[in-house]
């Protein structure tokens, strides 16, 4: 057992529903961690008095937060982060898809998988919903890399049977067979789960979506993820390709793919009916603000989602997104809502923390295990501890109160300010993190 002593902030309640007081900020907390689980929590003096024999790890020089939950990120796209200046379909054609085709090479895929998992944990992400590769071997490699490091990951083989470059195309039968093999190997193994992952409606026929539905039905706790309403040209093309669908969401919904185990990325341009269907089914939306800004996709209508009762969490959308760190996504989400003026949502620091942690856990059906640091939860945590003398260090030393400190962490924080990251009580990034095995 280990007793951690720290300033701790988390959001077991939703500040967007209950207001900024939903931030739980304990200036000098004791968290007793046993077998990777928070076994006791309270004022440090009280927890230490009740457990005088435990080793104390003193983290008072920084701030302890729950590990971040990234609900939308692409493993094959690590090396193309920063491809600026294009709208979605041009960026896919000239930047993302050629890079994804390179993962046909197994050694290359293993290297990228390690860079990807390493990038996530260095940024403080402890749980992620991941777009795998179009290649089964490369998708297997990202599961193996996540397992080696200890990341909590839900991922799947990405499938499509049109629009894509020839090497990325597959058939419904092959998608089903390869998906089933990966699901049987990885789903439920440690912290790993499988997600059925058609790339987007534009790259999938009805027959392919039907194969996806068959795989999704294979097990009760398998997840579904794809893209939705990201860009006006894309939406127009989906309308043309699916004349029988009422709208973009319907192209998935007609196949039974929209449920409480579905996470749809972007939804920048939804119709009122799509929001109704998302709310009614309990499906969640992954809001990816840096990607939406980088590709010029649009300003996310968060208020309309919340008013309709749609669940929203954050995604980095690497590689269209500008990096792995959900602190940056939180800040960009805040900026976007500011730009919407009276139509924007006032995203205070507590709301940003909730979006980056517990909202993601809720979207992924993992809120009984992660998302906050309550007793009984897994000790998935990040220790924000900027290097002395950095601007974040300076402003934190002059901060007023906990919400103010949290606002500063979202404004200035980068992966270099995240000193230690734990998943289930084990260090996955930081001084005593295990060194990943070398490439064969």
**Where on the chain is the footprint of ligand GUN (CB under 6 A)?**
74, 88, 92, 96, 199-200, 227, 230, 291, 317, 320
Task: Please check whether residue 294 is in contact with residue 230, taking contact to mean a CB–CB distance below 8 angstroms.
Answer: no
Enumerate residues 248-277 that contact Zn ion by CB under 5 A. Answer: 265
Shortest CB 320 distance to Zn ion, Å:
6
What is the rounded distance in angstroms from the CA atom of residue 169 to the CA atom of residue 185? 23
What does 118 interact with, of ligand GUN, Zn ion, none (CB < 5 to 8 A by kind)?
A: none
Complex with ligand GUN: residue 288 or 331, whichever CB lies closer: 288
Please tell me whether residue 68 adopts helix, strand or coil conformation. Answer: strand
Shortest CB 268 distance to Zn ion, Å:
12
What does 3 interact with, of ligand GUN, Zn ion, none (CB < 5 to 8 A by kind)?
A: none
Complex with ligand GUN: residue 40 or 299, whichever CB lies closer: 299
Shortest CB 72 distance to ligand GUN, Å:
8
Complex with ligand GUN: residue 24 or 199, whichever CB lies closer: 199
Q: Residue 283: is it exposed, middle or buried by C-beta count within 10 angstroms (0-12/13-18/19+)? A: buried
Complex with ligand GUN: residue 134 or 178, whichever CB lies closer: 134
Task: Please check whether residue 379 is in contact with residue 425, taking contact to mean a CB–CB distance below 8 angstroms.
Answer: yes
Q: Residue 124: is it exposed, middle or buried by C-beta count within 10 angstroms (0-12/13-18/19+)? A: buried
List 234, 317, 372, 417, residue binding Zn ion (CB under 5 A): 317
Complex with ligand GUN: residue 59 or 138, whichever CB lies closer: 138
What does 255 interact with, of Zn ion, ligand GUN, none (CB < 5 to 8 A by kind)?
A: none
Tokens of 112: 């990228």
What does 274 interact with, of Zn ion, ligand GUN, none (CB < 5 to 8 A by kind)?
A: none
Complex with ligand GUN: residue 16 or 96, whichever CB lies closer: 96
Number of residue whose CB is nearest Zn ion: 317
What does 230 interact with, of Zn ion, ligand GUN, none (CB < 5 to 8 A by kind)?
A: ligand GUN
What does 199 interact with, of ligand GUN, Zn ion, none (CB < 5 to 8 A by kind)?
A: ligand GUN
The DSSP-derived string for 244-282 is TSSSHHHHHHTTT--STTEEEEE--S--HHHHHHHHHHT
Tokens of 39: 């076994």
**Does residue 230 interact with Zn ion by CB under 5 A?**
no
Number of H helices, E strands in the chain: 18, 16
Q: Which stretch binds Zn ion (CB under 5 A): 25-33, 164-172, 196-204, 314-322?
A: 314-322
What is the rounded distance in angstroms from the CA atom of residue 411 to the CA atom of residue 352? 11
Shortest CB 226 distance to ligand GUN, Å:
8
Q: Which stretch binds Zn ion (CB under 5 A): 60-68, 82-90, 278-286, 313-321?
A: 313-321
What is the rounded distance in angstroms from the CA atom of residue 101 to the CA atom of residue 129? 21
Shortest CB 177 distance to ligand GUN, Å:
23
Please name the residue that has the structure tokens 């090396």: 79
Element (H, E) at 216: helix 206-216
In angstroms, what CA-CA distances link 3 with 36, 65, 155, 235, 382?
Answer: 12, 16, 33, 52, 15
In angstroms, what CA-CA distances link 14 with 29, 35, 39, 128, 351?
Answer: 21, 28, 23, 20, 7
What is the rounded distance in angstroms from the CA atom of residue 40 to the CA atom of residue 3? 9
Shortest CB 131 distance to ligand GUN, Å:
7
Name 70's bridge partners. Answer: 128
Name 383's bridge partners. Answer: 64, 420
Shortest CB 438 distance to ligand GUN, Å:
30
Complex with ligand GUN: residue 8 or 278, whichever CB lies closer: 278
Shortest CB 301 distance to ligand GUN, Å:
17
What does 261 interact with, of Zn ion, ligand GUN, none (CB < 5 to 8 A by kind)?
A: none
Complex with Zn ion: residue 140 or 317, whichever CB lies closer: 317
Shortest CB 331 distance to Zn ion, Å:
20
**Diameter of the chain by CA atoms?**
68
Q: Which positions touch Zn ion (CB under 5 A)? A: 265, 317
């Amino acid at each position: 057992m280990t007793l951690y002593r720290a300033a701790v902030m988390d959001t077991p309640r939703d500040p967007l529903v209950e207001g900024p007081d939903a931030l739980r900020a304990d200036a000098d907390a004791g968290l007793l961690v046993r077998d990777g689980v928070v076994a006791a929590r309270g004022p440090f003096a009280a927890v230490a008095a009740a457990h005088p024999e435990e080793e104390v790890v003193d983290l008072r020089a920084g701030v302890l937060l729950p590990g971040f939950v990234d609900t939308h990120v692409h493993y094959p796209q690590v090396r193309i982060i920063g491809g600026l200046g294009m709208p979605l379909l041009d960026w896919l054609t000239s930047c993302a898809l050629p890079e994804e085709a390179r993962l046909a090479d197994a050694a290359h895929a293993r290297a990228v998988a390690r860079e990807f998992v390493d990038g996530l944990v260095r940024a403080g992400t402890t749980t992620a919903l991941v777009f795998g590769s179009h290649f089964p071997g490369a998708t297997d490699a990202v599961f193996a890399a996540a397992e080696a490091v200890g990341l909590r990951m839900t991922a799947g083989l990405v499938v499509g049977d049109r629009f894509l470059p020839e090497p990325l195309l597959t058939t419904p039968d092959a998608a089903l067979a390869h998906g089933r093999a990966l699901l049987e190997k990885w789903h439920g193994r440690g912290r790993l789960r499988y997600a059925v992952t058609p790339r987007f409606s534009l790259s999938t026929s009805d027959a392919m979506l039907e194969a996806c539905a068959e795989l999704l039905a294979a097990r009760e706790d398998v997840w579904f993820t794809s893209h939705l309403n990201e860009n006006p040209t894309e939406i127009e093309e989906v309308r043309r390709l699916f004349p029988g669908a009422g709208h973009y969401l319907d192209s998935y919904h007609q196949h039974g793919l929209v449920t409480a185990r579905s996470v749809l990325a972007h939804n920048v341009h939804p119709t009122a009916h799509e929001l109704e269907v998302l709310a009614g089914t309990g499906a969640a939306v992954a809001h990816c603000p840096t990607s939406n800004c980088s590709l010029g996709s649009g300003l996310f209508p968060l208020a309309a989602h919340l008013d309709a009762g749609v669940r929203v969490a954050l995604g980095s959308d690497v590689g269209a997104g500008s990096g792995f760190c959900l602190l940056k996504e939180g800040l960009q989400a805040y900026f976007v809502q500011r730009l919407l003026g009276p139509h924007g949502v006032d995203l205070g620091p507590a709301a940003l923390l909730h979006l980056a942690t517990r909202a993601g856990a809720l979207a992924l059906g993992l809120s009984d295990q992660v998302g906050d640091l309550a007793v009984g939860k897994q000790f998935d945590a990040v220790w924000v501890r900027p290097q002395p003398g950095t601007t974040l260090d300076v402003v934190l030393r002059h901060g007023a109160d906990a919400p103010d400190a949290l606002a500063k962490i979202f404004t200035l924080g980068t992966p270099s300010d995240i000193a230690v990251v734990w998943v289930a009580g084990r260090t996955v990034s930081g001084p005593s993190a295990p060194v990943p095995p070398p490439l064969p």
